[in-house]
Amino acid sequence: MKAFLIDRYGKDVVGDITEVPEPKVGDFDVLVETHAASVNVLDIKIRKGEFKRILPFQMPLILGNDVAGIVKRIGGKVSRFQVGDEVYARVGQARMGGFAEFVAVNEAAVSPKPTNLSMEEAASLPLVGLTAWQALAEMAKVQPGQRVLIHAGSGGVGSIAIQVAKHLGAFVATTTSTVNVPWVKALGADVVIDYKTQQFESQLSDYDVVLSGLGGDVLEESIQVLKPGGQLISISGPPTPEFAEQLRLSWLFKQVVRLISRGIRKKSEQKGVSYKFLFMRESGAQLADLAKLVEAGIIKPVVDRTFPLDSTRDALAYVAEGRAKGKVVVKVR
């Protein structure tokens, strides 16, 4: 089968299309004939090697975290799917492999595809949808009437997070560039901060939750807009000691994590707010819940551009530029 893979980590690594054997199908796996797979910033970070000490990938590595397609074969102990089912999934974080003609996925990570979406639209949703849901509904436990700031509202996670937060009943603010202000308002944002002309920390105050995929000064300045008891949730880091415990990392790595997150945790504590790091997990059950919201018209995936499988390198480069509105999708079939 055709697949896009890398054979080493590095900032200068781009990856190549090559022929590889079809993946083996375990007892609890479904073999998905991939019709579409979406590109995430996570793919770029993995290619650079940013997670090599945390996630034990083996080389060569087929990139790609999101897929939509048709079940072609099932393992002997699979009970929830049949050959021919249209499905979508966030491929398990230890496996990857979405940028290929076939991918094996544990059935627990798979869900029936939303009936009202194309394969390309469905492939755009799993990672960002699960991230938004786990951050806002699970971790923050957003309640009706609470105030939520979502950074980078025109991005993959941001565009879905705005819709999830509104579904949960929140008052939503977001940041974006000038050209995208009307667009994120149409997604449901109540207040839009144009980061090219405004400073969000001087415009907003008394927020209950901030969801950020940005680091550096933006993360620290976000503390200022939170009220006491508020929550700052980051999906880009630095990771927390709780995250290191969750992944059962080595003692040494736990100490490193504790050190690199010490600054933001200390500043959060001084303001009386909490700092949390989310590394999204795959969940077919949550994807099924998201599918219901999509079918009800509550959440609408946003696809910026599609690329053929042979142009996966170009799709990754486009996402790395940071100007995509919503998601970028690789059309495999």
Look at residue 251 and tell me whether its pLDDT is greater than 90: no
Report pLDDT for 78.
97
Lowest pLDDT segment from 84-98, 155-169, 219-233, 294-308: 84-98
pLDDT at residue 282 is higher than 80: yes
- Contact 266/238 with Cβ under 8 angstroms? no
247 — pLDDT class (breaks 50, 70, 90): confident
Q: What's the confidence (pLDDT) of residue 180?
A: 94
Question: Residue 305: pLDDT above 90?
Answer: yes
| pLDDT, mean of residues 293-316 | 97
Task: Compute and round to an integer the Cα radius of gyration of the chain.
Answer: 19
| Every domain of the chain and the residues it spans | 2-123+302-331, 128-277
CA distances from 127 to 196, 289, 317 (A): 28, 14, 19
Q: Of all residues in the chain, what percent carry a pLDDT higher than 70? A: 100
* pLDDT at site 253: 78
Query: At CA 106, angle to CA 64 and CA 103, rounded to 5?
Result: 40
Per-residue pLDDT band for 286 (boundaries 50, 70, 90) equals: very high
pTM: 0.95
**In contact, 283 and 130? CB cutoff 8 Å:** yes
- Domain 128-277 class in CATH: alpha beta
Structure tokens at 247: 């992944």
* pLDDT confidence of residue 55: 76
pLDDT higher than threshold 90 for residue 17: yes
Domains 2-123+302-331 and 128-277 agree in fold: no
Instruction: In whole angstroms, give the CA distance from residue 318 to residue 222.
Output: 28
Fold of 2-123+302-331: Quinone Oxidoreductase; Chain A, domain 1 (3.90.180)
Strands of 50-140 (E only): list them. 61-62, 66-74, 86-90, 102-106, 110-112
Q: How confident is the model at residue 52 (pLDDT cuts 50, 70, 90)?
A: confident
Q: Percentage of the chain surpassing pLDDT 90?
A: 85
Nearest residue to 284 via CA among 78, 24, 11: 78
Closest CA to 163 of 297, 12, 332: 297
Pairing of strands 16-19, 2-6: antiparallel
